[in-house]
């Protein structure tokens, strides 16, 4: 099992859940044929499952950004339209930097589509002011309220499974001038193959997906994402379990982290299911970066919550919470990477109240939030992405050894402004997974996703995935 976990850890693009254009393909049923009405016209045809993943190419200054999607309308070659979003959906995108989130598998009418029209409202942005070094949570002005996105090549949905990668380009979408924040959403949409044996997040393997178990079936369970979207996931005899004796021990209401692979028939197969929180009526996870710490060891910290797992998320997902910790608070290293982190590193990673620092991304288990305050029962270290310019490089001295890259952070980086540090040392395993579009880690501007520590006062990221340069879409070029 340990070898399997390490192999998965090195061969994937991590993912942690908000959905934007995923919702563009949610439909009101999965029967052999459906009618979709929009703009006074109707498309009637058989449907095909189309897995869709969501990712983000953010700006360094942005801590969080949310948007409410109000309507989505597909247009085919004949000008017929299909309105496919039943209700408004609010999502947060910055947590998807260089990683991807649950493939959603809706039934889409078989047709040839030339464009999609999206309408949205209620943008919100959290960023660090470079002058005051303080967090700003701003209601943003929208540059527009709808856009038509024309596919460079018509999107053909037929009886063969395909998938899409949707990239929300935060860097060019968000403009900050003084105290005025403007959001003009931009997207990159690309088809992606479903591999017979998925190896990374661009061809069907996703990991670190958190959610609440909302239903159980025969060798199947439904995972409800932080946005309230249900995802059906199959299990088989090869599925690994952590914190559980097996599938029979999984219960409705549990908060879990799942790795899964998209199958050739577009179903999702769980590779690993980790129970992080036992089923209770009030248990929830708050996920996001720490922006300030009080006390040493920490007695409390400020967290920008980008996702909530458990009870229904609020209408505005971004919130600034004060988290209290005490002697009963447990501190947990990530279950997926425990073996990887403990093997052959040039430093000993630790995570507790004494090592917590502003800049780390964490998941907080709590019994509930009241007036933006909560008490942490457990604090889990969570993955995050760091980008910068390579100023130093040490290659591994043997196969499977760890290499090192030193990055200079951008001057406006929220991480640099929160920590007061200008560089990050990135620890690289031999054979680190490089996603399509990634620049070889020898020169230039790069970004890595992994787990952030301080080693002798130095920001140190244990990397698992190398993504494309900051602002570059993930996935095939179209």
* Residue 246's CATH number: 2.40.50.320
Whether the link from the prior residue into 297 is cis, omega within 30° of 0, is yes
Do 377 and 368 meet the contact criterion of CB atoms below 8 Å apart? Answer: no
Does any domain span residue 69? yes
Q: Is the domain of 265 the same as that of 159?
A: no
Indicate the residue among 354, 381, 408 that finishes a domain: 381
Q: Is the domain of 218 the same as that of 253?
A: yes
DSSP string, 276-303: EE---SS-EEEEEEEEEEETTTTSEEEE
Domain containing residue 91: 2-192
Does any domain span residue 102? yes
The pLDDT value recorded for residue 158 is 77
Q: Is the domain of 404 the same as that of 452?
A: yes
Structure confidence by residue, pLDDT tens digits, 428-452 = 876 676 666 677 776 788 888 889 9
| Confidence check: pLDDT of 221 > 80 | yes
Place of tokens 């309220």: 145
**How many angstroms separate the CA atoms of 91 and 185, rounded?**
13
% of the chain with per-residue pLDDT over 90: 35
Do 31 and 47 meet the contact criterion of CB atoms below 8 Å apart? Answer: yes
Model confidence at 193, pLDDT cuts 50, 70, 90, reads low
Tally of CA atoms within 13 A in the half-sphere of 292 that contains its CB:
9
Does any domain span residue 101? yes
Structure confidence by residue, pLDDT tens digits, 17-45 = 222 233 333 322 232 233 333 333 467 78
Q: Is the domain of 105 the same as that of 126?
A: yes
Q: Is the domain of 153 the same as that of 23?
A: yes
Indicate the residue among 139, 169, 192 that finishes a domain: 192
Does any domain span residue 197? no
Structure confidence by residue, pLDDT tens digits, 371-413 = 999 999 999 999 898 988 988 877 665 656 778 889 999 988 9
| Confidence check: pLDDT of 332 > 80 | yes
Query: What is the CA 263 to chain-centroid distance, rounded?
Result: 21
The pLDDT value recorded for residue 21 is 31
The pLDDT value recorded for residue 69 is 81
**Mean pLDDT confidence for 191-212:** 71
The pLDDT value recorded for residue 254 is 93
Place of tokens 């007695």: 299
The pLDDT value recorded for residue 439 is 74
Indicate the range of 128-137, 189-198, 269-278 predicted with least confidence.
189-198
Task: Identify which has the larger pLDDT, 284 or 356.
Answer: 356
Q: Is the domain of 453 the same as that of 431?
A: yes
The pLDDT mean for the chain works out to 79
CATH number for 452: 2.40.50
- Provide the domain count of the chain: 4
**Mean pLDDT confidence for 49-54:** 64
| Confidence check: pLDDT of 416 > 90 | yes
The pLDDT value recorded for residue 16 is 23
Q: Is the domain of 126 the same as that of 97?
A: yes
The pLDDT value recorded for residue 36 is 32
Q: Is the domain of 159 the same as that of 32?
A: yes
Does any domain span residue 199? no
Do 172 and 183 meet the contact criterion of CB atoms below 8 Å apart? Answer: no
Indicate the range of 197-206, 258-267, 303-312, 436-445 predicted with least confidence.
197-206
Does any domain span residue 477? no
Place of tokens 């009080």: 294
| Confidence check: pLDDT of 47 > 90 | no
**Mean pLDDT confidence for 143-150:** 89
Model confidence at 237, pLDDT cuts 50, 70, 90, reads very high
**Mean pLDDT confidence for 279-298:** 92
Q: Is the domain of 113 the same as that of 258?
A: no
Does any domain span residue 167? yes
**How many angstroms separate the CA atoms of 330 and 277, rounded?**
12
**Mean pLDDT confidence for 2-7:** 34
Indicate the residue among 168, 192, 216 that finishes a domain: 192
Does any domain span residue 59? yes
Q: Is the domain of 355 the same as that of 412?
A: no
The pLDDT value recorded for residue 98 is 66
Q: Is the domain of 115 the same as that of 42?
A: yes
Q: Is the domain of 38 the same as that of 105?
A: yes
The pLDDT value recorded for residue 227 is 77
Task: Identify which has the larger pLDDT, 60 or 361.
Answer: 361
């Amino acid at each position: 099992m340990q070898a399997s976990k390490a192999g998965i850890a090195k061969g994937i693009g991590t993912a942690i859940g908000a959905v934007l254009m995923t919702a563009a393909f949610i439909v009101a049923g999965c029967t052999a044929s459906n009618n979709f009405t929009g703009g006074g016209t109707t498309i009637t045809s058989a449907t095909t499952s189309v897995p869709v993943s969501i990712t983000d190419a953010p700006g360094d200054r942005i801590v969080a950004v949310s948007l409410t999607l109000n309507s989505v309308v597909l247009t085919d070659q004949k000008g017929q339209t299909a309105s496919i979003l039943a209700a408004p959906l609010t999502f947060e995108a910055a947590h998807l930097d260089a990683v991807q989130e649950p493939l959603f598998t809706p039934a889409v009418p078989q047709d040839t589509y030339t464009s999609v029209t999206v309408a949205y409202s209620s943008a919100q942005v959290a960023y660090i002011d470079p002058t005051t070094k303080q967090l700003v949570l701003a209601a943003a002005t929208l540059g527009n309220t709808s856009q038509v996105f024309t596919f460079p090549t018509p999107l053909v949905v037929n009886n063969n499974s395909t998938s899409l990668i949707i990239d929300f380009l935060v860097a060019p979408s968000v403009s900050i001038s003084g105290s005025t924040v403007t959001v003009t959403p931009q997207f990159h949409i690309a088809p992606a193959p479903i591999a017979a044996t998925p190896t990374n997040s661009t061809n069907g393997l996703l990991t670190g997906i958190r959610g609440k178990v909302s239903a159980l079936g025969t060798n199947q369970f439904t995972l409800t994402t932080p946005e309230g979207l249900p995802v059906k996931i199959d299990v088989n005899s090869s599925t690994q379990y952590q914190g559980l004796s097996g599938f029979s021990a999984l219960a409705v209401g549990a908060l879990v982290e799942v790795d899964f692979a998209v199958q050739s028939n577009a179903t999702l197969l769980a590779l690993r299911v980790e129970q992080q929180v036992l089923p209770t009526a009030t248990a929830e996870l708050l996920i996001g970066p720490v922006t300030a710490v009080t006390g040493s060891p920490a007695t409390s910290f400020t967290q920008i919550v980008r996702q909530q797992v458990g009870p229904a998320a609020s209408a505005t997902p971004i919130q600034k919470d004060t988290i209290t910790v005490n002697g009963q608070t447990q501190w947990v290293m990530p279950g997926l990477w425990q073996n990887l982190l403990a093997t052959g590193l040039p430093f000993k990673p630790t995570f507790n109240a004494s090592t917590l620092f502003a800049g780390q991304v964490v998941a907080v288990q709590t019994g509930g939030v009241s007036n933006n305050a909560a008490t942490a029962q457990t604090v889990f270290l969570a993955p995050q992405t760091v980008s910068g310019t390579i100023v130093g490089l040490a290659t591994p001295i043997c196969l499977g050894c760890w290499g090192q890259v030193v990055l200079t952070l951008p001057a406006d980086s929220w991480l640099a402004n929160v920590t007061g540090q200008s560089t990050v040392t990135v620890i690289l395993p031999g054979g680190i997974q490089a996603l399509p579009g990634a620049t070889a880690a020898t020169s230039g501007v790069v970004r890595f996703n992994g787990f952030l520590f301080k080693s002798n006062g130095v920001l140190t990221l244990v990397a698992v995935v190398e993504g494309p340069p900051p602002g570059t879409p993930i996935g095939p070029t179209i």
